[in-house]
A and B are shown apart, each in its own frame.
Chain A
């Protein structure tokens, strides 16, 4: 890239800058649109569901990088989400104490959920910067863990990764659940150095009382960036290398693809994005509990990726949307009249059975998922990307 810039002089530099900067602008635009146009239009609850959808889209698309592009099999994605959420929570919670004196909301209008009432304050508050930093730190911590886990297991065959990631997720859960009680007095926080603060993450109760920053703006900013990264990656030489590994590892190696290195890179990037999703989740719910981010959560994400299409960014996005909306539609109002109608308790149980049957049938009848490697727009122009 830099070589090209060097050769072609200023215009290429500008083009390069535009290529790098445009997605960010678009992402900010999407975020602003969601925040200022969509949110007031749909109301608080639907905005909330859109936020849930956005977080799941980030999770599904990030896992697509590993399970879809490189054909590896990670089933510990929730572990990275938990790590990212806790790291981000630690920074924003204790950081708020140190900067503002309390773990209260200190952001601008972009972090304010409109349904709580009118907002009087700056466009961007100090808390926003802290929140963005927390999301990045959450992503980096998860990425670091991804590197440590990925390096030994990605040298080996794909199915070892499945076991190691599953075990990793469980270890993360146990370790986070045995952290110390969190501090909730400003004086205590001030008197404790940072290394010790990172040990006080609430333990079994979960890390609670985190300030609420996650809004449609931040989530869809992250969604837009994630999608851009994933789609561009797929079309880049990197993505071709990923797909080559997925199709035939030995052949890819023979073609000069350093398979382990590429697999680790995909894995670390996916872990980073999962960490960011965890950070958004923590500041949406206002608390995070490792006990709920076990391998069931990981399986949910895996199912999104598999159903959507192994390697299809738009497919997994669509699957994430549908699989977030379904439980919401099925959140059975158990007998909305005051009678003792036998509630449909079996329905959610059946839901899991239908999921699993769909998974099996999909693998037998349509092994590549609904979309396979294709994207939605590939159909429109009747064009099929040829993997390297």
Chain B
């Protein structure tokens, strides 16, 4: 293949930019996996579907509720579109996360983990297939209306950085800083850490464990919804809700959580960016077909060499 006429610096910058953007989304999703794992010690398989739901709810709000299709071409989208859609998606997915925990997982608090895992897969299938119903989102791919003007903010080494990319990279950072503050600087965060450290002791100390667990689910789901919103902004062509593409994205985010050290909030952030960059560098400089293979190869390597992840479990406080 003829690639000699490509400016290598431009290609590198473009790759890092995209890898970082997608890494931020992985990190947001991975946070949900890792927080739930920290507290309940099980993989919330349905979490990737909450992310999918976030993307599709964003579409639903933007295209159906606010009727913004084609607005960008005809006179521009209103400024409030982005915050309204984002908050709407986070709110709705937070509610769904709350319901999932209350209805599906709470009755199984004492059950073997395998049962909870299967329930999670059941919830995952349920969300996918309800989303595919004609009365919900329908079984066809759709595309997200442009909420932001196609304006270039800056050039990095000749690479165009549109507003969308700035938002896609910036928002996860802001959200993660907020989460850091919440977990390490507030009473709720303290309670979350306590429950994660030892549920029974925390309960004895007067922490309302059920409320903390619910809060964790709401928080994780809202973060996943934010990731879904950003994903829909960047990759406007949304596959139908039950498409395998979504599950693969969620899985890669889970790999990010494991690589970073599952149960560890900072590890999930680190793992997200690491997996995103690794994937995009692999696609750009190795074989583009093996996008998913790189990620799972890293997973198996990590499981073999350092099962506790990069930020080992004992080293850092976890949630």
Given A152-B304, A352-B129: A163 touches B121 (CB 8 Å cut-off): no
A157 closest partner in B (C-beta): B113
Please give the distance in Å from B243's CB to the nearest CB on chain A: 11
Residues of chain B in range 272-295 having any CB-CB distance to chain A below 8 Å:
289-290, 292-293, 295
Q: Does B303 contact A (CB under 8 A)?
A: yes
Q: Does A349 contact B (CB under 8 A)?
A: yes
Query: Are the C-beta atoms of A363 and B111 separated by less than 8 Å?
Result: yes
Query: Are the C-beta atoms of A167 and B292 separated by less than 8 Å?
Result: yes
Given A171-B293, A349-B139, A364-B108: A359 touches B125 (CB 8 Å cut-off): yes
Q: Does A367 contact B (CB under 8 A)?
A: yes
Query: Are the C-beta atoms of B299 and A167 separated by less than 8 Å?
Result: yes
Query: Are the C-beta atoms of B247 and A164 separated by less than 8 Å?
Result: no
> What A residues does B107 contact at CB under 8 A?
364
Q: Does A158 contact B (CB under 8 A)?
A: yes
Query: Are the C-beta atoms of A349 and B129 separated by less than 8 Å?
Result: yes
Q: Does B210 contact A (CB under 8 A)?
A: no
B291 closest partner in A (C-beta): A174
Q: Does B17 contact A (CB under 8 A)?
A: no
Q: Does B20 contact A (CB under 8 A)?
A: no
Please give the distance in Å from B58's CB to the nearest CB on chain A: 22
Q: Report, as a range, how many residues of chain A touch the other chain.
A: 35 or more
Cα–Cα distance between A196 and B128 once the two chains are bound (Å)? 41
Residues of chain A in range 146-164 having any CB-CB distance to chain B below 8 Å:
152-153, 155-156, 158-160, 162-164
Query: Are the C-beta atoms of B129 and A171 separated by less than 8 Å?
Result: no
Given A156-B307, A171-B292, A367-B111: A360 touches B244 (CB 8 Å cut-off): no
> What B residues does A153 contact at CB under 8 A?
300, 303
Q: Does B251 contact A (CB under 8 A)?
A: yes
> What A residues does B111 contact at CB under 8 A?
363, 367
Query: Which listed residue (A71, A159, A295) contacts B43, Cβ 8 A?
Result: A159
Q: Does A299 contact B (CB under 8 A)?
A: yes
Interface of B is mostly: helix
B257 closest partner in A (C-beta): A163
Query: Are the C-beta atoms of A364 and B303 separated by less than 8 Å?
Result: no
Q: Does B30 contact A (CB under 8 A)?
A: no
Please give the distance in Å from B216's CB to the nearest CB on chain A: 18
Given A174-B290, A296-B244: A352 touches B125 (CB 8 Å cut-off): yes
Query: Are the C-beta atoms of A294 and B244 separated by less than 8 Å?
Result: yes
Query: Are the C-beta atoms of B126 and A356 separated by less than 8 Å?
Result: yes
Query: Are the C-beta atoms of B121 and A302 separated by less than 8 Å?
Result: yes
Query: Are the C-beta atoms of A163 and B307 separated by less than 8 Å?
Result: no
Please give the distance in Å from A267's CB to the nearest CB on chain B: 15
Query: Are the C-beta atoms of B307 and A168 separated by less than 8 Å?
Result: no
Q: Does B197 contact A (CB under 8 A)?
A: no
Please give the distance in Å from B152's CB to the nearest CB on chain A: 35
> What B residues does A364 contact at CB under 8 A?
104, 107-108, 119
Query: Are the C-beta atoms of A363 and B296 separated by less than 8 Å?
Result: no
Q: Does B28 contact A (CB under 8 A)?
A: no
Residues of chain A in range 119-159 having any CB-CB distance to chain B below 8 Å:
152-153, 155-156, 158-159
Residues of chain A in range 316-347 having any CB-CB distance to chain B below 8 Å:
345-346
Q: Does B254 contact A (CB under 8 A)?
A: yes
Q: Of B7-15, B75-83, B130-138, which binds chain A?
A: B130-138
B119 closest partner in A (C-beta): A363
Q: Does A357 contact B (CB under 8 A)?
A: yes
Residues of chain A in range 39-61 having any CB-CB distance to chain B below 8 Å:
none
Given A168-B296, A296-B244: A162 touches B43 (CB 8 Å cut-off): yes
Cα–Cα distance between A155 and B308 once the two chains are bound (Å)? 13
Given A152-B300, A167-B299: A349 touches B123 (CB 8 Å cut-off): no
Q: Does B66 contact A (CB under 8 A)?
A: no
Question: How many CB-defined contacts (below 8 Å) exist between A and B?
Answer: 118
Q: Does B50 contact A (CB under 8 A)?
A: no
Query: Are the C-beta atoms of A163 and B122 separated by less than 8 Å?
Result: no
Cα–Cα distance between A76 and B109 once the two chains are bound (Å)? 26
Query: Are the C-beta atoms of A167 and B255 separated by less than 8 Å?
Result: yes
* Chain B: interface residue total (CB-CB under 8 A): 47
A364 closest partner in B (C-beta): B107
A168 closest partner in B (C-beta): B296
Cα–Cα distance between A66 and B200 once the two chains are bound (Å)? 32
Query: Are the C-beta atoms of B126 and A357 separated by less than 8 Å?
Result: yes
Q: Per-position contact with A for B59-98: 1 when CB-CB < 8 Å, else 0?
A: 0000000000000000000000000000000000000000
Q: Does B114 contact A (CB under 8 A)?
A: yes
Q: Does A353 contact B (CB under 8 A)?
A: yes
Please give the distance in Å from A245's CB to the nearest CB on chain B: 12
Query: Are the C-beta atoms of A295 and B129 separated by less than 8 Å?
Result: no
Q: Does A306 contact B (CB under 8 A)?
A: yes
Q: Does A166 contact B (CB under 8 A)?
A: yes
Q: Does A375 contact B (CB under 8 A)?
A: no
Given A164-B299, A164-B303, A170-B296: A159 touches B113 (CB 8 Å cut-off): yes
Query: Which listed residue (B119, B124, B130, B254) contacts A163, Cβ 8 A?
Result: B254
Query: Are the C-beta atoms of A363 and B118 separated by less than 8 Å?
Result: yes
B37 closest partner in A (C-beta): A159
Please give the distance in Å from A168's CB to the nearest CB on chain B: 7
B135 closest partner in A (C-beta): A346
Q: Does B186 contact A (CB under 8 A)?
A: no
Q: Does B115 contact A (CB under 8 A)?
A: yes
Please give the distance in Å from A154's CB to the nearest CB on chain B: 10
Query: Are the C-beta atoms of A158 and B129 separated by less than 8 Å?
Result: no
Query: Are the C-beta atoms of B113 and A158 separated by less than 8 Å?
Result: yes
A363 closest partner in B (C-beta): B119
Q: Does B117 contact A (CB under 8 A)?
A: yes
Please give the distance in Å from A363's CB to the nearest CB on chain B: 4
A159 closest partner in B (C-beta): B43
Cα–Cα distance between A175 and B293 once the two chains are bound (Å)? 9
> What B residues does A345 contact at CB under 8 A?
134
Query: Are the C-beta atoms of B258 and A299 separated by less than 8 Å?
Result: no
Q: Does A178 contact B (CB under 8 A)?
A: yes
Q: Which 5 A-B pairs have the closest CB atoms?
A: A359-B122, A167-B296, A356-B125, A356-B126, A360-B122
A-B residue pairs in contact (CB < 8 Å), sample of 30: A73-B117, A152-B300, A152-B304, A153-B300, A153-B303, A156-B303, A163-B299, A164-B303, A170-B248, A171-B293, A171-B296, A296-B244, A302-B121, A349-B139, A352-B129, A353-B133, A355-B125, A356-B122, A356-B129, A357-B122, A357-B126, A359-B121, A359-B122, A360-B119, A363-B111, A363-B118, A364-B108, A364-B119, A367-B111, A367-B115
Q: Which residues of A contact B (CB under 8 A)?
A: 67, 71, 73, 75, 152-153, 155-156, 158-160, 162-164, 166-168, 170-171, 174-175, 178, 294-296, 299, 302, 306, 310, 345-346, 349, 352-353, 355-357, 359-360, 363-364, 367
